[in-house]
Structure 1
Amino acid sequence: MGNTKVDLKQLEEFRDRVQKAADEEQQRAFMEACAKELAARLLAKVIKRTPVGDYSDSYDVEDDGQQKFLVMSEKQGGILRRGWTTHKAGSGAEGMETNNVMDFVDSLKINHFGDTYVIEVRNDVKYASYVEFGHRQTPGRYVPAIGKCLKKGWVPGQLMLTYSTNEIRKAAPGILEKKLTAWLNEVFA
């Protein structure tokens, strides 16, 4: 029988790449990147769906001490839309001072609970839950903030977060599979 020579250099390189991929720090970084991407996609969807108030035909009362005047309101819509965040205070739509989406995604705060990675998406505007789920109101009541009388007894919710969350849940397996494939191709290339 003849002697057979085997070059194990490529096999050793492959082993080293596998060990590097199995490294806990690499796995954590991959999981965090997945969580950040899903949260960023959720924020993009919910911000786009959030209604913006129209105050173009509302008026404010100004008082100069002797007379009261009706003047066009200077209120602007979008407070609720700008209220979406992933931190206790600031980030979300207001935190996107940069035009680079990846800088924003990298800034998302992740909490770890065992093997679970959590990014909390929230809106701290005081009336956000009423717009999301709907609310009762008294028909005929005048509301100075909007300059109108209320017409309906129930205002249905917009469900902007609910719909967006459901869409992300359905899309998540495909998104994560693509990220995993890209990561494995990078590790084993």
Structure 2
Amino acid sequence: MSSDFIYDEFLAFANKFHKNLQEETFIVDVMNKLGNLMIREVKMKTPVGKYDNSVFFVSNGKLLVFEAGSTARTGGELRRNWILDGVESTGDGYAVTISNNTEYASYVENGHRKADHSGWVEGQFFLKITMEEILDQLPKIVGPAYEEYLRGFGFS
């Protein structure tokens, strides 16, 4: 059995392999895709406040309510403020961070005591639900991306 070693083909393969062998870049790219998916999904689940034309005001420790002349409005600040902070190396892994700097985000997510201390407002858990869904989908997201990455080396 005779096999010829073709140096030019091997060199071309080695150069392609070296060029594509950027595992960290692959991981960061996949983590950014996951972060963008998390942002998209959590935004869809984040509730948007609907406000009537009442105005609340506290004076001398008493809650006063006035009806404003304008029409009802819709909120959306909490939904708009989701951002992808980025991907960073964490020891032997990588972490993608998303955040929302809206002051009341944690109260809507986790629940809170009513302002008059008469009970509890249940949390919406939109972030928790989103993270659970993303974790369930992880093999379907990362698997095809990794196969495409390997195809870059000439593996099928």
Give the TM-score, by structure 1 length.
0.66
Matched letter for residue 107 of structure 2 = Y
Matched, 1:156 2:122: yes
Matched, 1:29 2:25: yes
Q: What SS does the corresponding residue of 1:72 show, helix, strand or coil? A: coil
Gaps of 5+ in 2: 57-65
Q: What SS does the corresponding residue of 1:86 show, helix, strand or coil? A: strand
Q: How does 1:7-156 map to 2 (within 5 A)?
A: 7-8=5-6, 9-22=8-21, 26-55=22-51, 57-60=52-55, 70-72=68-70, 75-87=73-85, 109-137=86-114, 141=116, 153-156=119-122
Residue 183 of structure 1, CA deviation? 1.1
Q: Is the 8 A contact 1:60 1:71 kept in 2?
A: no
Q: Structure 1 residues 170 and 164, CA, compared in 2 at 3 Å: closer, same or farther?
A: same
Q: Structure 1 residues 131 and 123, CA, compared in 2 at 3 Å: closer, same or farther?
A: same
Q: Is the 8 A contact 1:59 1:73 kept in 2?
A: no
Give the Cα–Cα distance (whole angstroms) in 1 for the partners of residues 67 and 95 of structure 2.
51
Q: What SS does the corresponding residue of 2:50 show, helix, strand or coil? A: coil
Gaps of 5+ in 1: 62-67, 88-108, 142-149
Matched letter for residue 6 of structure 1 = D
Give the Cα–Cα distance (whole angstroms) in 2 for the partners of residues 175 and 159 of structure 1.
23
The structure that is strand-richer by fraction is: 2
Residue 123 of structure 1, CA deviation? 1.2
- Indicate the residue corresponding to 1:92 in structure 2: none
Q: Is the 8 A contact 2:30 2:145 kept in 1?
A: yes
Give the TM-score, by structure 2 length.
0.78
Per-residue CA deviation, residues 2-48 of structure 1 (Å, 9 max, x unaligned), is x95614233343333333333xxx21111110110111111111000
- Indicate the residue corresponding to 2:59 in structure 1: none
Q: CA RMSD in A?
A: 2.7
Q: Structure 1 residues 85 and 5, CA, compared in 2 at 3 Å: closer, same or farther?
A: closer
- Indicate the residue corresponding to 1:104 in structure 2: none
Give the Cα–Cα distance (whole angstroms) in 1 for the partners of residues 137 and 72 of structure 2.
40
Q: Structure 1 residues 71 and 33, CA, compared in 2 at 3 Å: closer, same or farther?
A: same
Per-residue CA deviation, residues 117-159 of structure 1 (Å, 9 max, x unaligned), is 2221111111111110111215xx5xxxxxxxx9x72211110
Q: What SS does the corresponding residue of 1:120 show, helix, strand or coil? A: strand
Give the Cα–Cα distance (whole angstroms) in 2 for the partners of residues 167 and 11 of structure 1.
44
Give the Cα–Cα distance (whole angstroms) in 2 for the partners of residues 170 and 155 of structure 1.
28
